[in-house]
Amino acid sequence: MTAPVHAPVSDPASDPDPDPVLAPVLAPGDPPLSGLRVLDLATLFAGPLAATMLGDFGAEVIKVEHPTRPDPSRGHGPAKDGVGLWWKLLGRNKRTLTLDLSTPGGRRLLLRLATEADVIIENFRPGTLERWGLGWDELSSVNPRLVLARVTGFGQFGPYSHRPGFGTLAEAMSGFAAVTGEPDGPPTLPPFGLADSIAALATAYAVMTALNGRAATGRGQVVDLAIIEPILTVLGPQPLWYDQLGYVQPRTGNRSRNNAPRNTYRTADGSWVAVSTSAQSVAERVMRLVGRPELIEEPWFTTGSGRAEHAGVLDGAVGGWLARHSREEAMAVFEKAEAAIAPVYDIRDVMDDPQYRALDTITEVPDPELGPLRMQNVLFRLSETPGAIRWAGRPHGADTDAILEELGLSAPEIAALRSDGAL
């Protein structure tokens, strides 16, 4: 067997500059991205959320916002005492700096920050940074090891690249909306930032991939991520189906074309549950449980696609049984039979669920502005170098002076920049 090919590994004793991403000097319990510096120039959701994910695992994230036009996410959704709550989640573990990048002073300061940064995340329309003299040529000249992640609706090139792009457009253009909703109803958009969130996950992964590449080459690079692409990836093999068979996936509501019964069902107490039978053995258990074992003997029952073609019969059997039992009764019977079922939760149920509590999925974060806050914890658990929420989103520009003082600027220099509108 041929041995796998890996990038050459240098001897740390002879390497004068080991990459801190792959050779970090961490104390026991330190988060794994300690020592990584990220400049978050992006707004709203995909880019900033990617930076949040990096910050959760120890990266030092500096959020750069316009002096008079802060990230619009600060004003999205409900607020408490005039403070946007969405920002408390999106801005956690970030220090905040105001900077007008279109001014000479703002440009100079961003280039100084870039010399000490590992990653910049931005989501301006293509050409905007270049117009300000802050394109890849300028940034890489001051720091050849920099990774520049560019997150836009349609990517850096192509006929749509200069269009304004939002997650909603990606949800429409990817095919997601076309397959979501009832068969006789309209295409359906999600009531939350689905495409942006998927793009954020992809961006964080792309940044870490680029940093790993830097460890081998010593050079940074540009990450070009179009929000229309990651959501298309998670929609599965639709392009392959169409390419090979001309098959276009239709809207099926809560049903699946691959197996049945698979749906949401109302219980006797007015609650809702979801049932899935992706495995043949589970489908058989459910039919026995609801008192319809004779359906198992039908020839079509032996395959998921065969069951899907008879979803009406199977839904009638399962739905009829569940309509005679409360959610609590149904959950107990299904779990005893090792049949797959879950309650349909709203956020009140999530906050009170014992499994989420055991995982600390919703954790408490102290906040000097609003007091204790409960929000989603870091995305996953690491046994040796865990992530952590060190603080919730901070006020607009709260750390501007401190960050600039760390760059070596004096109080009069900072005051002059503020007077010129750069801060």
| Residues contacting residue 215 through CB under 8 Å, at least 6 positions apart | 7, 19, 21, 22, 23
In this predicted structure, the answer to whether residue 15 has a pLDDT above a threshold of 80 is no
Tell me what pLDDT residue 26 has.
73
Closest residue by Cα to residue 102 from 81, 133, 123: 133
Catalytic residues, which ones? 196
Percent of residues, the chain, with pLDDT higher than 70: 94
Q: How far apart are CA 80 and CA 209, in angstroms?
A: 38
Per-residue pLDDT tens for 62-107?
A: 999 999 999 999 999 999 999 999 999 999 999 999 999 999 999 9
Q: Are strands 94-98 and 272-275 parallel, antiparallel or unpaired?
A: unpaired
Closest residue by Cα to residue 321 from 344, 347, 297, 290: 290
Q: How far apart are CA 343 and CA 409, in angstroms?
A: 56
What average pLDDT score do residues 145-150 get?
98
Of the pLDDT bands very low, low, confident and very high (cuts 50, 70, 90), residue 9 is very low
Of the pLDDT bands very low, low, confident and very high (cuts 50, 70, 90), residue 27 is confident
Q: Is the dihedral of CA 89, 92, 94, 98 positive or negative?
A: positive
Q: Which residue has the higher pLDDT, 124 or 4?
A: 124
Q: How far apart are CA 251 and CA 23, in angstroms?
A: 49
Single-letter code of the amino acid located at 356? Y
What average pLDDT score do residues 338-365 get?
96
In this predicted structure, the answer to whether residue 196 has a pLDDT above a threshold of 60 is yes
Per-residue pLDDT tens for 258-301?
A: 999 999 999 999 999 999 998 999 999 999 999 999 999 999 99
What average pLDDT score do residues 350-354 get?
97
pTM of the full predicted structure? 0.91
171 and 198 Cβ atoms separated by less than 8 Å: no
Q: How far apart are CA 17 and CA 144, in angstroms?
A: 14
In this predicted structure, the answer to whether residue 4 has a pLDDT above a threshold of 50 is no
In this predicted structure, the answer to whether residue 368 has a pLDDT above a threshold of 90 is yes
Tell me what pLDDT residue 30 has.
84
Per-residue pLDDT tens for 170-180?
A: 999 999 999 99
Of the pLDDT bands very low, low, confident and very high (cuts 50, 70, 90), residue 374 is very high
Tell me what pLDDT residue 8 has.
33
In this predicted structure, the answer to whether residue 122 has a pLDDT above a threshold of 60 is yes
Taking all residues of the chain, what is their mean pLDDT, rounded to a whole number?
93
Per-residue pLDDT tens for 297-345?
A: 999 999 999 999 999 999 999 999 999 999 999 999 999 999 999 999 9
Tell me what pLDDT residue 11 has.
38
Of the pLDDT bands very low, low, confident and very high (cuts 50, 70, 90), residue 227 is very high
Tell me what pLDDT residue 24 has.
54
What domains are defined for the chain?
37-234+371-419 (3.40.50.10540), 263-344 (3.30.1540.10)
Beta-bridged to residue 376, according to DSSP, are 362
92 and 389 Cβ atoms separated by less than 8 Å: yes
> What is the length of the chain?
423
Q: Token pair 């392959």 is at which residue?
A: 240
In this predicted structure, the answer to whether residue 35 has a pLDDT above a threshold of 50 is yes
87 and 93 Cβ atoms separated by less than 8 Å: no
What phi and psi, each to the nearest 5 degrees, are found at residue 178?
-65, -30
| Burial (0-12, 13-18, 19+ Cβ within 10 Å), 329 | middle
Range list of β-strands (E), 314-389: 341-343, 362-365, 373-376
